[in-house]
Homo-oligomer: A and B are copies of this chain.
């Protein structure tokens, strides 16, 4: 069955911003918003494509494990080659074996997304940090200012590299790589830090470019 990933209500019922009317519901102050939050995923009108069997299975697995399909996947589902490439890269970077723990990779994701102020990624991956760390505060620290977190020197060096790479990529030099080596990272770990930071510099921009909205379920996850 074809998904309807990034579908918006038809233009006639969702006039654009310049006419002064709200295109999507105001957040929360306006009643009745929750329904639309789930229907409208991006600001782009992209007709859904039919999921390939592999992607259908992947979506089913998301629903089984998380209770929902993350909106970023629905947003990509207008074109199977893009969805499959995104899923392949994401799964390799964030879930495959690495010298970085899954939590560490999510910490990089959130610290990078905080620098870029990406709403979608901060909500979705902030929840991941809270859950993987079993710590309702660590995710907030990554979202707000990773420098305020009490990190061990390894994790601090990891995030300093990831955030400098985000903010000033042209100024990364051998001294920065050596700071990671001195903190105990291998050259393969350095690749992985760079690759995760790079991936979220891409994803942050696609989410911001399309006004991607996170699944509401993330907000309440692991708050206590």
Q: Which of B149, B178, B220 contacts A223 (CB 8 A)?
A: B220
Q: Which residues of B contact A133 (CB under 8 A)?
A: 2-3, 28-29
Q: Which residues of B contact A199 (CB under 8 A)?
A: 202
Q: Which of B18, B150, B224 contacts A26 (CB 8 A)?
A: B150
Judged by DSSP, the binding face of A is: helix
Q: Which of B85, B169, B177, B181 contacts A88 (CB 8 A)?
A: B85
Ordered by A's residue number, 6 sampled pairs between the chains whose C-beta atoms are within 8 Å are A26-B150, A28-B138, A30-B150, A46-B188, A117-B170, A119-B144
Q: Is the CB of A5 within 8 A of B81?
A: no
Q: A46-B188, A144-B123 are in contact. Are A17 and B151 (CB under 8 A)?
A: no
Chain B residue nearest in CB terms to A213: B148
Smallest CB separation, A131 vs chain B (Å)? 10
Q: Which of B3, B118, B224 contacts A145 (CB 8 A)?
A: B118
How many copies of this chain sit in the oligomeric assembly?
6
Q: Which residues of B contact A134 (CB under 8 A)?
A: 2, 28
A165 interfacial contact with B, CB 8 Å: yes
**Complex alpha-carbon distance, A160 and B84, angstroms:** 29
The 9 closest A-B pairs by CB, nearest first: A28-B135, A194-B209, A2-B133, A117-B170, A28-B150, A202-B202, A5-B149, A198-B202, A85-B89
Q: Which residues of B contact A33 (CB under 8 A)?
A: 150
A4 interfacial contact with B, CB 8 Å: yes
Smallest CB separation, A7 vs chain B (Å)? 7
Hey, what's the 0/1 contact readout for A68-84 against B, CB within 8 Å counting as 1? 00000000001001101
Q: Is the CB of A198 within 8 A of B205?
A: yes
